[in-house]
Chain A
C-alpha cells in the first residue's frame, strides 16, 4: 500500500481539479433543513467532514431513490419503448465513512446477482471512493462489533486520515486509487516518513457475536417463532425509516407513470417494513404482522446476505438506531440473541 500526503489545501485543489475535469463530486454537505447528507459538492468549504455520519447513506449516488429506466409512447395500436440511458459522469465520493464504503461492496453483490443492473454498475465503475477515517463515533456507531473499523479500507479506493497539524494522509488502497493519485499527482504528494494523525474513533464494542447470531437464525426451529421478535418489535410502527437510511438495504419497486399517451417506467426505493411490501394480489400477506417484517429485516442482514453473497449485510453505521422513532435498537436484538444462542 502506498501512502501519500494531501496538504491542508489539498481538498480545495482536488475539488477544483475535479470541477475542471467535469467530474461529479459527492460529499457530506449540510442541506437547507440543517442536516448533513451526501450531495453534489462544488467547493471544499461545503464539506462537513466533522459530522460523525450523514443522515442518509451515500448509496443514492449509485442507486438513486427514484430513477427512470424506460420510456414509452402509445401510437395507435403500437407502443414504442425506449430504454433510458442516462449520462453517467465520472464521480468521486469524497469524505464518506469507511462503513459506507464497505456497504457499497455488499450492494454490488445484489445488483450483479441474477441480473446485472447496469444503471448501478456503470455508476459504480465510474466512481472513485475516497473515504475519511472516523475520529469521532457516537453512541449509535457499532462498526467494530460487526467486524468493521472506523479506519477500515474495504470498499475504498483511497482512505484519508486526518493529520493533527492539518492535511490528510492518503492510503492508496486499490489500483484505481493509485491511478487516481497519479492523475492528480500535484495534489497527492509524497508522504513524510512519519505523520502524526488524529486518534481514530473507538465505538463502544458491544457483546455481539455475529457468527453465533447466524447459526441461531440458521436453526429455524429455534429462531423462527421465538418470542423475542414480538417482544422487540411489537412497538414498531412500520415507518421504514431504517430501510431508507440503511447503506445496504436495496429493495426497490418498478412502477409505470403515465402522462397521457406516453409515460415512463420508474425504479423507486421500497422497504420490507411496509405492510404492503409482501402483500399478494389475493389479499394474503405472508408477513402479516410487524414483528415478522422486522424479523425479515434482521435476518436479511445477518443470514440471507451472508448465505447468498458471503458478505455482511450490516456495516454498523447505526443510522437505523438514530432514525427510529420507537427506539427499536438493532444492537439490542443482536446482544440478546448473542446471549440466547449461547
Chain B
C-alpha cells in the first residue's frame, strides 16, 4: 500500500486535506482499526487489506466533527462509496468536500473470522469472505479521486440473487406464522444496546426516536414489545436507503441477522420501484424520500 501512503502524504503535505480517514493495523490478531492521519508520519501507518472491514463513511456524517476540520480524504471500498452516494443524495455531504481514495477490493473478512496470520496481507480465501462480498458488483469503486489496487474487475451479477438474497427468499417462502416466529425468536435476543443504529452511517438524526421519552415511543425495555418495535422501526427507516455495508450485522452483540432484514427491504424496493438499488446514483431521490403526484395510491383503503 505504498502508493496509498504516498498519495496520502502528498495530500497532507500540500494541505489539500485536513485529515485522512483510513485504516491502520489493530491491536489484536486479524484486526484493523479506523485511523485518522493528520501528519505525513501518520500516513505511514495507513493500510488496506481484507481485514479493513469498517465502513469509514460514518466519520463523514454529522455524528462526528471531521467534516468541520476542512476538506477530508477517506479510504473507501466500492461498498463504502455506495454509502457516500446516499449521503450526497440526502444532502448530508457534498462530493467536493471529500477526496475519495478508492481501493479495489476482492472481499473483506467475515465478521466471525479472525485470520491467524502474522502480517496483514492482500489475499483472502473465498470461504472467509463476508456475505456482502458474495453479491458485490463494485469491486472497483464506481467513483473516486484516486484509485489504488490494479487489475480488479467488478463482477457482473444478477442483482438481488445469490448470497444473502437466497436467505431472503428462504424466509419469504415461510408461512406467515412461521415467519413471525422466525423473527420474534431473533428479536428476543436483542439487548437494546442500539449498537446497530450507532454504527450505521445512515442513522444520522440529531435526535433519534429512541431518545424521545415523552412519550417513550420505542420502549427501552428489552422485552417483546420493545424489541419488536425497535427492530421493525429501524428496518423501515433504512428501506430504500440501506446499501448493505453490513456494519449493523457485524456489530450486533446478540447476532440478530440484520443483513437479512435490511436486504429483504432492499429487495422489496428493487421489485416495487423499477429496480431501484440504494447507493448506485446520487441524482435520483430514494423511493421513500420523494413524492410524485402519480404515485400509486391503490394500497390506501
Question: Which residue numbers of A lie inside 8 Å of B, CB to CB?
Answer: 31-35, 55-56, 65-66, 139-140, 234-235, 237-241, 243-245, 253, 255, 257-258, 266, 268-271, 274, 276, 289, 321, 323, 325-329, 331-332
User: In whole Å, how far is A204's beta carbon from the nearest beta carbon of chain B?
Assistant: 11
Interface: B62 (CB within 8 A) = no
Q: Are A33 and B221 in contact (CB under 8 A)?
A: no
Partner of B216 from the list A235, A243, A257 (CB cut-off 8 Å) is: A257
- Report the 5 A-B pairs with minimum CB-CB distance, sorted nearest first: A239-B195, A327-B33, A33-B255, A239-B198, A327-B26
Q: For B250, give the chain A residue with the smallest CB separation.
A: A325
B211 within 8 A of A: yes
Interface residues of chain B, those whose CB is within 8 Å of chain A, are 26-29, 31-36, 54, 58-59, 63-65, 185-186, 189, 191-195, 198-199, 211, 213, 215-216, 219-223, 247, 250-251, 253-256
Residues from chain A with a CB closer than 8 A to the CB of B28 are 139-140, 321, 327, 329
Contacting residues, chain B, for A276 (C-beta < 8 A): 211
Q: Which residue of A lies closest to B65 (CB)?
A: A289
Chain B residue with minimal CB distance to A65?
B222
When distances are taken between beta carbons in the complex, the residues of chain B under 8 Å from A269 are 191-192, 222
> How far, in whole Å, are A271 and B193 apart by their CA atoms in the complex?
8
A325 to B249, CA, bound (A): 11
Residue of A whose beta carbon sits closest to that of B21: A235
Which residues of B have CB within 8 Å of A241? 193, 195, 251, 253
Q: Are A331's CB and B220's CB within 8 A?
A: no
Known: A325-B199, A325-B250. A239 touches B194 (CB 8 A): yes
* Given A35-B255, A237-B198, CB of A268 within 8 Å of CB of B221: yes
Q: A271-B193, A276-B211 are in contact. Are A238 and B198 (CB under 8 A)?
A: yes
How distant is the Cα of A235 from the Cα of B220 in the complex, in angstroms?
26
Total CB contacts across the A-B interface at under 8 A: 103
A271 to B36, CA, bound (A): 26
Min CB gap A250→B, angstroms: 15
Give the interface SS of chain B, mostly helix, strand, loop or mixed: loop
For residue A208, give the distance in angstroms from its CB to the closest CB of chain B: 13
Residue from the list B32, B63, B222 in contact with A66, Cβ < 8 A? B222
Could you say which residues of chain A place their CB within 8 Å of the CB of B256? Answer: 33
Whether A55 contacts B189 by the Cβ 8 Å rule is no
Whose C-beta in chain B lies nearest to the C-beta of A326?
B34
Q: Nearest chain B CB to A213's CB is how many angstroms away? A: 17
Task: For the complex, give the distance between the alpha carbons of A271 and B250 in Å.
Answer: 20
CA distance A32 to B198 in the complex (A): 25
Q: Do residues A237 and B58 form an inter-chain contact, with CB atoms below 8 A?
A: yes
A33: chain B residues within 8 A (beta carbon)? 186, 189, 254-256
A240-B255 contact given A255-B216, A276-B211, A326-B34, CB 8 Å threshold: no
Contacts A235-B36, A326-B54 given; indicate if A268 touches B27 (C-beta within 8 A). no
Task: Give Cα A323–Cα B34 distance, bound, in whole angstroms.
Answer: 15
A31 contacts across to B, CB distance below 8 A? 189
Decide: B36 and A234 in contact? CB cutoff 8 A.
yes
Q: Give B12 Cβ to nearest chain A Cβ, in Å.
A: 17
Given A31-B189, A35-B255, A237-B58: A327 and B31 interface contact (C-beta under 8 Å):
yes
Q: Considering the chains assembled together, what is the distance between the CA atoms of A323 and B254 in angstroms?
A: 11
Considering the chains assembled together, what is the distance between the CA atoms of A270 and B210 in angstroms? 13
Q: A55-B253, A325-B54 are in contact. Are A255 and B221 (CB under 8 A)?
A: yes
Q: For the complex, what is the distance from the CA of A55 to the CA of B191, rounded to whole Å?
A: 12
- Residue of B195, B215, B219, B254 near A240 (CB, 8 A) is B195
B221 near A325: Cβ-Cβ < 8 Å: no
Chain B residues with Cβ below 8 Å from A271 are: 193
